[in-house]
Amino acid sequence: MKKVEVITRPEVFKELRDNLFSIGIGGMTVTEAAGSGKQKGVEGLFRGTTFEIRVLPKLKIELVIDDEKVEEVVEVIQRTCNTGSVGDGKIFIIPVEEAIRIRTGEHGKEAII
């Protein structure tokens, strides 16, 4: 099993969720986040004063999936989230040793489907 963490723009979430559902990925955790990278933030103007916003709103989407689905999931994420601009986000793939469904006690693959 792998945990796929995606940090991306909030405006792509609905399309990404729908595209993941279409390939059989339904379980995910979504968290509002803020961050900066190469994008480094933007300048804003408020009541005549210029200010810099050093972190920008992002979403962190976490999926725990079977190893066989990783390549397909990454392809869907890249295709959906890529605008070609700085700030499109990152994908992290992390090994998961075990998963246990609390309600039933199921382990492994059965706990994540």
Residues 64-100: tens digit of each pLDDT:
999 999 999 999 999 999 999 888 999 999 999 999 9
Residues 46-68: tens digit of each pLDDT:
677 776 667 788 999 999 999 99
Beta strands in the chain (DSSP E): 2-8, 29-35, 42-46, 49-53, 56-65, 89-95
| pLDDT for residue 12 | 97
Domain map of the chain by residue range? 2-112
Average the pLDDT over 18-30 and give the result.
Answer: 96
| pLDDT for residue 54 | 72
Domain 2-112: state its class: alpha beta
| pLDDT for residue 83 | 94
Question: Rounded distance, CA 20 to CA 14, Å?
Answer: 10
| Other Cβ atoms closer than 10 A to 30 | 14
